[in-house]
Chain A
Amino acid sequence: MRSPVASLAIEAREVAKTFRSGWLRPRLTEALRGVTLEVPRGAIVGLLGPNGAGKTTFLSILATLLIPDRGIARVLGMDVVGDSLALRRRLNLASGRPSFLWSLRVAEILDFYGRLYGLAGPALRARVDALIEEYELTEYRRVPYNELSTGLKQRVALAKSLVNDPELLFLDEPTLGLDPDVSVRVRAHIAALRRERGMTIVLTTHYMREAEELCDEVAFIKAGRILDAGTPDALKRRIGLGDVIALRLEPAPPAWLTEAPGVVRCVTADGWTKCTVDDAEKRLPDLLRQLFAEGITVRNVRVREPELEEVFVELAR
């Protein structure tokens, strides 16, 4: 039987990192203040948080690009500091603002990194060809990197990150700045990587829908700390956001609405009154009955579960 630790791709305990800047009067920035996180093998986990929260710093530590000041980080059973060289063979990273050597062509970039990861001869050619085909780069294989569009550069970055067929893939804002249609394709590729290869993927993103669509679990980071982590549904339950009942009322919503039983809060915007309630099925009939009784016309009603974005806003407050 495998031990629980062996089934973890990432095990981070109290990881901390402070950056110094300036020579004469050094300024200290605490980027991570003791981050603890476990990622099971084969999972897609999202790191969410506002700008400067510490997402990229944490990802970079896990990817061996940055050495933590404190704490322990074990990735694929190896220490990120002590076993970094051996670990690098088994992981890879793609970032949302990719950059590679300008004048190298697409196939040459993949060739270069393929060789760095120990591929040669027919195996290298086959791998590069497969990645070029998979990421629909065939017609661009001889195009220099600096002549590619943002979306194509992103595809090259993703292809490069798979050149060593990593067990663990880090994606830092993988759809940043991409057109919606390209983002959809990139997300489909990411989902396929886990489905078809069983790859563990850790991604950072600003897009809650992306996290909700792709991730088995998400972790919210703010000011260098993980505020909460779990499946999107579990987080919604834990944060206690309940359901959202959106009402179009005429005339304006009555004052008692926010005080009604089961109502957590109400916000009115763009003609809609959005009431967060503990249980929509239980509260909606009573609310409608009272509104009708007061002669308020209910022109439209929508009931939905809260989105991850609302969890994010709640946690970030």
Chain B
Amino acid sequence: MSWRADLLAVWAVVVRNALMASRNVFFFFELLFWPIVGVISIGLMTRFLGITAAQASFVLIGTIALSIVNVCQLEVAYAVLMDVWSKSIKHQFLAPIGIRHLTLGSWLVGIVRGTALFTLLAVLAWWAFGFRALRPGAGAVAIFMLGCFLNALIVGVFVCALITLFGNRAEAFAWASVNLVLVLAGIYYPVSMLPGPAAALARAIPLTYFLDAYRSHFGFASEFTAPIATGLVLSVVYAIVGHLTFYACVQRARRTGLLLKMSE
């Protein structure tokens, strides 16, 4: 496949997802309502508990990260979900494109939505609770967001794989998967607080390292020696494994006939 054809296929998915997002009231709730509710309720809870400003920033960073990962991973999952809902998935897989075009195109839209969401939540958290998300500087913020987006890509690709493996039954995983990250990646607490096996699992999640790196700019000692490098390496490995899994699931769906069933 030529570079031009590759770019066109990715662009096709970008335009499609953006058009769908702009016309669905459901997307409004994903992008604005729930994340804003999350930041406000968590922020108010930190006030009620009377914790320090540093501790409040720790929790708010986690809340913002969770919102970004959630919005972006849903967008990646939409690469398959929207076609499953509208029973048009066979046309997508009849076209001469690879799964990378679907995931990359959707991910790019997710990045745009995630960036918009971060901006909004950063302003809200600063205005309502005095938390300055941009204080660590552009580089640190960019790496933090890259980490969030890479995690979203990984979760989204595995959700796509599950949907092509189990059909509509796996749809619930699209909405629930982010909660696993919530528990294990140290969204509201340091991963050192987790019991042994859970802490080991947390170390296998790339977001753990990006959160650790970003929080270190707010005065929290880093728990890892090279968190950014570790997070990046893990992300790349998982992204590759995720795409191979997704590809295998699509091939299996072609063998079992699930691809056709999902279009009926």
Residues of A within 8 A of B (CB): 19-20, 56-57, 60, 63-67, 85-86, 88-89, 92-93, 95, 97, 99-104, 108, 111-113, 115-120, 160
Q: When chains A and B are docked, how far (Å) is the Cα of A63 from the Cα of B82? A: 22
How far apart are A127's CB and chain B's nearest CB, in angstroms?
13
The tally of residues in B whose CB lies under 8 Å from a CB in A reads 37
Q: Is the CB of B8 within 8 A of A115?
A: yes
B200: CB under 8 A from chain A? no
Chain B residues near A86: list those with CB within 8 A.
96
Which of B19, B92, B94, B257 is close to A108, meaning CB atoms less than 8 Å apart? Answer: B19
B90: CB under 8 A from chain A? yes
Q: When chains A and B are docked, how far (Å) is the Cα of A210 from the Cα of B264? A: 24
**What are 15 pairs between A and B in contact, CB < 8 Å?**
A19-B257, A20-B256, A64-B94, A64-B254, A65-B93, A65-B94, A65-B259, A93-B94, A100-B88, A101-B16, A101-B20, A102-B85, A104-B19, A113-B12, A113-B95
Which of A66, A111, A113 is close to B257, meaning CB atoms less than 8 Å apart? Answer: A66
B135: CB under 8 A from chain A? no
Q: Would you give the 0/1 interface string for B210-222, flagging 1 where the beta carbon is closer than 8 Å to chain A?
A: 0000000000000
Q: Which secondary structure dominates where chain B touches chain A?
A: helix
Q: Is the CB of A99 within 8 A of B263?
A: yes
B185: CB under 8 A from chain A? no
Given A19-B256, A99-B87, A100-B86 in contact, is the A112-B12 Cβ separation under 8 Å? yes
How far apart are A202's CB and chain B's nearest CB, in angstroms?
14
B47: CB under 8 A from chain A? no
Chain B residues near A119: list those with CB within 8 A.
8
Q: Is the CB of B96 within 8 A of A117?
A: yes
Q: Is the CB of B83 within 8 A of A89?
A: no
A-B contact count (CB 8 A): 94
Q: Is the CB of B16 within 8 A of A89?
A: no
State the 10 A-B residue pairs at the shortest beta-carbon distance, nearest first. A115-B12, A116-B95, A88-B96, A99-B87, A89-B96, A103-B23, A67-B255, A118-B5, A100-B88, A67-B254
Chain A residues near B85: list those with CB within 8 A.
102
Which of B19, B91, B260, B264 is close to A113, meaning CB atoms less than 8 Å apart? Answer: B91
Q: Would you give the 0/1 interface string for B65-99, flagging 1 where the beta carbon is closer than 8 Å to chain A?
A: 00000000000000000110111101111111110
Q: Is the CB of B96 within 8 A of A101?
A: no
Q: Is the CB of A65 within 8 A of B23?
A: no
How far apart are A10's CB and chain B's nearest CB, in angstroms?
16
Query: Of all chain B residues, which has the CB nearest A81?
Result: B254
Chain B residues near A160: list those with CB within 8 A.
91
Query: Of all chain B residues, which has the CB nearest A104?
Result: B19
Which of A60, A86, A89, A160 is most buried by chain B, counting CB atoms within 10 A of its CB? A60
